[in-house]
Structure 1
Amino acid sequence: MRSCLFIFTKRRKGREDVPKQRNEKSIKAEELYRQGWKLVDIAKKLGVPSGTVRRWKSNYNWDGQSERSDKIKVNVRKRGGQPNNKNATGLPGNTHAVKHGLFAKYLPQEVFGIVKELEEKQPIDILWENITLTYANLLHAQRILFVENKEDSNVYVTSQGDNGISYEHQTAWDKQGRSFAAIARIQGELRQMIKTYDEMTRSDLITEEQRLRIDSIKAKLGNDNVNRTESALDEYLEKLGDNINGTE
């Protein structure tokens, strides 16, 4: 029994060692494939199922290992940006391509130009400019919302149609209340920005000029405490307003 099994096994192995003669159509199919034909077109040309052509391609390794590797590398290279496209380059973590690609596509040209000009600015400098701009708007708002006396009132047309005209009467009290609310909101935003700027000056990356801005403020106020009182902040705002008016 053992000898029979041994002989049977040897015979099967011997049969597998004999190379199988290729089908003439498979040879022709490979030639067409190397000429750039698609598998579906090859199947139609030779009158065989497309699955048969795919099986020939796999069994006879039409692409070859080296050619397949080169094809993968080419595909990887094609996934990059266009040649000489600076938007597609940059150090790891650089969002230059994303930022400029999206901005240039969706932002108006004027806004996009401003964005490029602001690239070199540091966040702390942008914050300082916002502090001065916010306080300048605060001074301007106080002039607009000024109430002369208790008789100071205004009447505005709110709507006009077939049913008549609607008016809104603002008394001096109404105007004063809205003025206080608007000014308080701006002052709250300004105080928060000043506090944030003070915290940013503690970084080792800021310049001496940036640090001296807040140091000068503290020296004038005579208080190095970050949680300064309301009166100290008001005094600072007044001094900042004098600086703004002095530059006009």
Structure 2
Amino acid sequence: MSRARSEKRDLAYNMWIESGGKMMLIDIAAALDISSDQVRQWKRKDRWADKIDLSNNHVTNESVINHTEEVEPSQPEAKKNSGRFQPGNRASVGHGPPKGSRNAAGPRSGDPYKGNNNATKHGFRKMVFPDDEETHAILNEIQTLSPLDILWDQIQIQYLAIARAQKIMWVRDQEDRTEVLKRERRGKNPEKEWELQHAWDKQATFLQAQSRAMQTLERLIARYEELLIKDLDVEEQQLKIEKLKAELEKIKNPNPEADLKSYLDALKTTAEEVWPNEEPEDKEEVPEGEADDK
């Protein structure tokens, strides 16, 4: 005895037809409380796609029957359909995109879509850092810092951590004991488990942590001084190169007048450095008659 046709089968078909073939099968399955595989099987067996015409939105409840007369196609049409489906074939009906779809269309303005990453060099930042304004501001600020600046910030942060730990982990005296609640059980038989931290345990932990932090700070300072010396050497080398370029330029374009002017300016500067506060002595006024006699 064959099993009776399910009422949900017709309901699923009607829901799909009324939506113009646009309703998702998974939504139909959710509305009827059945699996989407079952709806997909009904659609295939009952040939739903043959009963809806998406080109003109004409819907029928009966199977579509092709009543066109068999007419021998003309020569151009026969050549056009050569190797393809026969005229009147509806195998592709219902399988294309809905009318008005822009799935294959690009952006109207010609610009990339929102969220496009074509210009991204690599996805490291996007994968590691959160995508918010504060993080981006910090990253942009880092771009303007030199390795020396970053290293100096690390030194300050490390020193600040050591100073704060000195206050937080300070052991008052030998009687300084701390009780920490590790576990608590509630109910008919309540129970609490405490961990006792004695003064010598806290002091030993503090000394170990402080020693490691101090060693890290010393390494950072040593590295900072090393980079600082290298930067000074680089600056000195650049000054030497600029001086050498200036001397080569003088050799290529000699200018005696300019050299003489430079020499006189140098003499003037040297004289001012040697006698900075001396003023020229006033000459004695000689009468005109005596001057003529002389």
TM-score, normalised via structure 2 length = 0.38
Which structure has more relative contact order (CA 8 Å, sep 6+)? It is 1
TM-score, normalised via structure 1 length = 0.44
Q: Which has the higher helix share?
A: 1
